[in-house]
Amino acid sequence: MRSAFFAILTLLLASNPATATITPDFQTWLSNNGYSGDNFARAELGTWGSTGGKISPNQAISHQPVIFIHGNSDCALLSNRGPYATGWTNSVRYFSNQGYSSAELYATTWGDVNSANAASRTHDCATVQRLRRFVEAVLAYTKAPKVDIISHSMGVTLGRKVVKGGSIHAKDGTCNIGSSLASQVDTFLGLAGGNYGLCVCEGTSAVLEATCNKDNGYWPGDECGFNYLDCGLAPLPFPCSGVTYSSYLTELNGDPTKEGDFVFSAWSFADDVILFGDNVWDQKTSLIPKSNGHKEYTDKTHMETKETTAADQYNAVVNHHL
């Protein structure tokens, strides 16, 4: 009975890699290599909790593996949990149509997929360490010298730390996730990330909402020169320099290590979550420092920067152009 179940599941994975959890082969490998406690499959979420893995142990890998990291309240693949839980289904299908197999496309759900808890999520040790182990597992499992990482929203600032490594100071403790993985990342793409914080996190939001906190949240700073509580204005009324913003983001942006050989950023002027045309103290918060290139969309919502840009994502990781 068990063998019949896995045979059916294998057929489903082969026919539609965008609607299945990670493969039995990957799950077996994870269990045999010390990852069984990480629950990367997220089977309790059904067919949208995760994706990726070989159909058989000897399956060849011909493309550089791609790891997708979703944002706050989102998930690995399209779910029924609302407009902020659409996952990477469109991207996985697009890459699959270009010849990628399930052995080359990976994602795991890192949160509880409950938008009611969005304001409580931070860049904490538990989340970053879990994603770090997922990236390490994919590297070891595929034996690929390099992977590509495509990230969205909070997944950008989580993913950047996963690659850069180092220490994190958070309410759930202090941890060191290890040395940099940058030499093992070819392309890192950040879509609609809050790299310099979010203007909605100004003022009392830094105290009232955990995700806006000044330590490991999205606090953008409350002032810049004579500009006060108006970080979304562009241009600013007064000259602006030397902004003090959240410690996590400050350390992230101050670390000179690039997130990969090629780093790209993309955002939308119509983003309905970041708002203010992506401006934070007159700079684009979605622009990752040292990016090799970037793309600006004029009319996409926050989720559409992920859902409708699969061709650009493919172009970034395959052709190193955006």
CATH number at residue 240: 3.40.50.1820
pLDDT of residue 171: 83
Length of the chain, please? Answer: 322
Percent with pLDDT over 70 in the chain: 94
In whole angstroms, give the CA distance from residue 16 to residue 12.
6
Percent with pLDDT over 90 in the chain: 89
Q: Dihedral of the CA atoms 123, 124, 130, 133 (nearest 10)? A: 80
In whole angstroms, give the CA distance from residue 217 to residue 148.
26
pLDDT of residue 244: 97
pLDDT of residue 7: 41
Least confident of 141-145, 161-165, 172-176, 251-255: 172-176
At residue 145 the predicted structure's pLDDT band, cuts being 50, 70 and 90, is very high
Residues 6+ apart with CB under 8 A from 59: 25, 101, 103
Residues 6+ apart with CB under 8 A from 112: none
pLDDT of residue 9: 40
- Given a cut of 50, is residue 70 above it in pLDDT? yes
pLDDT of residue 18: 59
pLDDT in tens, 234-284: 999 999 988 999 999 999 999 999 999 999 999 999 999 999 999 999 999
In whole angstroms, give the CA distance from residue 140 to residue 147.
11
Q: What is the domain count for the chain?
A: 1
pLDDT of residue 200: 97
- Given a cut of 50, is residue 10 above it in pLDDT? no
Summarize the confidence of residues 111-116 as an average pLDDT: 92
pLDDT of residue 19: 55
Q: Tokens 């970037």 correspond to what residue?
A: 294
Domain of residue 264: give its range: 2-319
